[in-house]
Amino acid sequence: MLSKLLQQIRSPRRRKDVQLELISLHIPKTAGTSFRHILKSKYGEQEVIRLDIPAGKRRVRINEKRYRETTIPSGTRVVHGHFYLPELYAKFPETKDLPVITWLRDPVERVISNYFYLQKILRQLLDEEGKGVNLLSKMQRSLIEYARAEVNQNRQSKFLAGKDLEDFAFVAIQEYYGEELVELSKVLGWSGVEEKKVNVTGKDRPEVSIEIREEIARLNAADVALYQRALHLRQRRMSRRRLEIISIHVPKTAGTSFYHALQTAYGKAVSPSYRRRDVKQLAERHGSFANGIDKSDVVLHGHFYYEEIKRLHQPSRVKLITWLRDPVDRVISNYRFFRAGLKNPDRNPEQFAANQHRLEESLLTYAERPENRNVMSKFLTGIQLEELDFVGLQEHYATDLARLAKVTGLPLIAVKKNVSNQGDWDFSFDDEATRAQIAKWNREDLDLYQRALKMRAGE
């Protein structure tokens, strides 16, 4: 039943076919307001309603207005708001079989955040009549007095009463907001989710002592147990994830910037950015680089050749991504990077020790070395360019990253990292003879790059 309902969610409908699809239970101060904006961006401004049923009261409010009808307004796809599920089901039976998602939060942080949020609202409101939040009766003289009031204790457990965590379509954890959005997007079939934060309690709030935090934890023992179970379920869910993306980082092709974009989207599920010496060390210890990687990584990124990760890619649906660049510019950029390392020994002492005698090496001498020729082709030996799932071009980094974000649905943000400085060098690369010679040494890469340009134009 749940899989069928989730399949319905993934299938966009035209307005005339709109029907209820999803319930989003918003526990106060668990990122619900930010999440409602994302829901509206996915399902439509009018198709997502805010429905609130204050605890212990009969009245229903939809979009902050009193609602007396006995059915959900037509044209609604998603119901989002503050309500206890048994009360929602009793008032609107048509919601009972829908998938439910919710967000949880560290109980101590949630109570503290709720207290300071209400304190902030109190400063702004003198007349609370008709607001439906009963602020003055909730607020006490201090945080701990607020926390000691039974009505403010174990609120997450109260909201979820009558439904086991395993019965939810998805239980997200606010502390992992960005990562959870990625996972939830996969469940609901969303694409291009942009992280939005709304109604965030200010970080300038007073510090809360350890003693008060410990008492709040004791007062919310049920919520602490619920939260720990949710974390356990999340860990189990994340442990079932498999490798999804292999990112081959050809040196000086925007790979470092792309790595930071992947970290923004996937967080700790991204592998270390493997350098060549890391790849070789793992291969020596485990028989192959592929044998030595962390099997819990969802994204694998680094300076590895396709042949070194071939067996990870071929039998699976892992997406293979790389970035290319004009071969002559790539060699020149790599030369700059090489020289910078010799002028700054602390950056990589091992490389400096091995290459300090090359401090005065010219660009042409560097480019002529066999290891510096056709580097892009060497990294991709064993696979045709057309077989990769995505080939980005460094010269169009922001545009291509946005294109990739649209295709994958990941919140990829362009941040430039490890950009070679072009202003501190005592040599020029403007002469055509030098560029022509470098091009001659990199004919395979030139052919590869031209194919990538044609592929991009075709797309």
**433 has a pLDDT exceeding 90:** yes
52, 88 contact by CB (below 8 A): no
Per the model's pLDDT, the better-predicted residue between 211 and 421 turns out to be 211
Which pLDDT belongs to residue 253?
Answer: 97
In one-letter notation, the amino acid at residue 165 is L
Highest-pLDDT range among 12-21, 293-302, 327-336: 327-336
2-239: CATH topology: Rossmann fold (3.40.50)
Question: Quick one: pLDDT band at residue 267, thresholds 50, 70, 90?
Answer: confident
Rounded to whole angstroms, the Cα distance separating 255 from 247 reads: 8
Highest-pLDDT range among 79-93, 284-298, 424-438: 79-93
285, 292 contact by CB (below 8 A): yes
Which pTM does this prediction carry? 0.59
Which pLDDT belongs to residue 5?
Answer: 47
**6 has a pLDDT exceeding 70:** no
50, 81 contact by CB (below 8 A): yes
Mean pLDDT of 89-106: 94
Which pLDDT belongs to residue 4?
Answer: 46
In one-letter notation, the amino acid at residue 227 is Y
**Residue 95 burial (CB count, 10 A):** 20
Rounded to whole angstroms, the Cα distance separating 324 from 320 reads: 13
Please state the φ and ψ torsions of residue 203, each to the nearest 5 degrees.
Answer: -80, -5
Rounded to whole angstroms, the Cα distance separating 53 from 91 reads: 10
Q: Which of 142-146, 182-186, 194-198, 385-389 has the lowest mean pLDDT?
A: 194-198
Which pLDDT belongs to residue 352?
Answer: 81
411, 422 contact by CB (below 8 A): no
Per the model's pLDDT, the better-predicted residue between 186 and 433 turns out to be 433
Q: Which residues pair with 50 in a beta bridge?
A: 80
Per the model's pLDDT, the better-predicted residue between 224 and 7 turns out to be 224
Mean pLDDT of 268-276: 93
Rounded to whole angstroms, the Cα distance separating 322 from 254 reads: 10
Rounded to whole angstroms, the Cα distance separating 331 from 350 reads: 22
Count Cα atoms within 13 angstroms, Cβ side, for 407. Answer: 13
Which of these, 241, 263, 268, lies nearest to 186 by C-alpha position? Answer: 241
Cα torsion angle, 253, 244, 186, 296, sign: negative
Rounded to whole angstroms, the Cα distance separating 328 from 323 reads: 15
Which pLDDT belongs to residue 53?
Answer: 93
Beta 299-302 vs 270-274: how paired, if at all?
parallel
Rounded to whole angstroms, the Cα distance separating 316 from 437 reads: 41
Q: Which of 90-99, 194-203, 320-329, 401-410 has the lowest mean pLDDT?
A: 194-203
Mean pLDDT of 136-140: 53
Kindly state the tokens that stand for 125.
Answer: 């409101």
Q: Which of 23-37, 151-165, 189-203, 272-286 has the lowest mean pLDDT?
A: 189-203
2-239 matches 245-458 in fold: yes
Question: Quick one: pLDDT band at residue 423, thresholds 50, 70, 90?
Answer: very low
DSSP 358-395: GTT--HHHHHHSGGGSSHHHHHTTTS-GGGSSEEEEGG
Collect all residues with Cβ–Cβ distance below 8 Å to 380 and sequence separation of at least 6. 248, 250, 306, 322, 388, 448
Which pLDDT belongs to residue 190?
Answer: 83
pLDDT digits (tens, 9 = 90+) for 98-113: 999 999 999 999 999 9
245-458: CATH topology: Rossmann fold (3.40.50)
> Any idea what the Cα angle at residue 438 is, between residues 434 and 441, rounded to 5°?
145
Which pLDDT belongs to residue 127?
Answer: 53
Which pLDDT belongs to residue 158?
Answer: 94
**22 has a pLDDT exceeding 90:** yes
Which of these, 100, 82, 90, 114, lies nearest to 20 by C-alpha position? Answer: 100
What are the sequence ranges of the domains in the chain?
2-239, 245-458
pLDDT digits (tens, 9 = 90+) for 26-49: 999 998 888 999 999 999 999 999
In one-letter notation, the amino acid at residue 87 is E
**230 has a pLDDT exceeding 80:** yes
In one-letter notation, the amino acid at residue 6 is L
In one-letter notation, the amino acid at residue 94 is E
Collect all residues with Cβ–Cβ distance below 8 Å to 261 and sequence separation of at least 6. 401, 412, 413, 414, 415
Highest-pLDDT range among 174-183, 252-261, 292-301: 252-261
Which pLDDT belongs to residue 135?
Answer: 55
Which pLDDT belongs to residue 199?
Answer: 53
> Any idea what the Cα angle at residue 338 is, between residues 334 and 343, rounded to 5°?
145
Which residue in the block uniquely carries the two structure tokens 């609202």? 121
Which pLDDT belongs to residue 10?
Answer: 47
Mean pLDDT of 282-301: 91
Question: Quick one: pLDDT band at residue 16, thresholds 50, 70, 90?
Answer: very low
Q: Which residues pair with 457 in a beta bridge?
A: none
**378 has a pLDDT exceeding 70:** yes
**422 has a pLDDT exceeding 50:** no
